[in-house]
Each structure stands twice: as structure tokens, then as C-alpha cells.
Amino acid sequence: MVIRQEVLKAIGGFEEIADYLADDFQLGYLTAEVGYKVMLSDYIVDHVLFANTLIDSIQHQVRWLRGIRVSRPWGYIGLIFTYGNITSLILMMTIKGSTLCWSALAATWIVRLIMGWIVGVKYLQDSSAKKYFWLVILRDFMGFIIWCYCLFGTTIEWRGLHL
């Protein structure tokens, strides 16, 4: 992130965002609040996740989701609509198997699998995405469980510290 010195002063300096979980979000949010324009870069930044274990990966997801929940509570609640596999399954259980429900369930799951293949295999050319493609639906379910977990509680683990 890049911020001009006069903009940083206008928002109260780094001290103003020091106690926020999502300090990067606050930096952009406060900048916009005082009337400056916030821009996203056209450059794609390559990165590597350093989650060595499943637990590390889950803790990373918890940090991200709790950061979203703190920064944009209504946006966090709105994430429920991104879990199409889950919502189509809930619809199926609620209406008890109508043709419309089966169609919605099948269409949602097929589109999700196609999207996972296109992004992971075709565009990112990730050999792991191809090898473990069958885990996409399981990952979606895990994501939903983590989302539910993050509805409650305020602690995160960051570099061995419980905050």
C-alpha cells in the first residue's frame, strides 16, 4: 500500500489504525472518509501462502473472515450468498426434493465445479488444482463452517499469539 504523507496526517497517522484487526482496510476507509480518492493498482502482485498445515490454513481463514466481519459487518452477513452449494442444499432440505430444488442443486454444483476448473486449471495452471479438483465441494463446505464459526468470537491467532 502506498499513501501520501499529507493523507496519512489527515487521517490521524498510523496511530489511528494501530488497534484495528484489518488495518489495511482502515487505511483505505479513513482515507476515503476524509475526501481523498482511493485507487487500486493495475499491477498483479504474486504471492505465496505459507500455510504449512491444515490448521495454519484454517487460522488464516479465521483471521480474514473476522477481519471482514469487524470491517464490514453487513458485508460479512452477505457472504452467505456466496455459498451456493450450501444454500442450494438447504433449499433442497427445506422443500424436500422438488424438481425445481434438484435442478437448482445440480446447476449450482455443476457451475461451481466448472468455475473451479476454469480458474484453477485453465487460467492459473495450478497442477494441485487439477490433481485435487474433486475436493472443491468439500472446500466449499469447510469454508461455510469457518464462516459460521467466525460469526461468534473475536480472537485470532497471529504468529503464535492469541489476540
Delimit the domains of the chain by residue range: 1-47, 51-162
Three cell numbers written together for 75: 458485508
pLDDT tens profile 6-63: 999 999 999 888 887 778 888 999 999 999 999 888 887 776 666 678 888 888 899 8
- Burial label, 69 (beta-carbon count in 10 A; 0-12, 13-18, 19+): buried
Main-chain dihedrals φ then ψ at residue 13, nearest 5 degrees: 80, 180
pLDDT tens profile 56-82: 888 889 988 998 998 889 999 999 989
How confident is the model at residue 18, as a pLDDT? 83
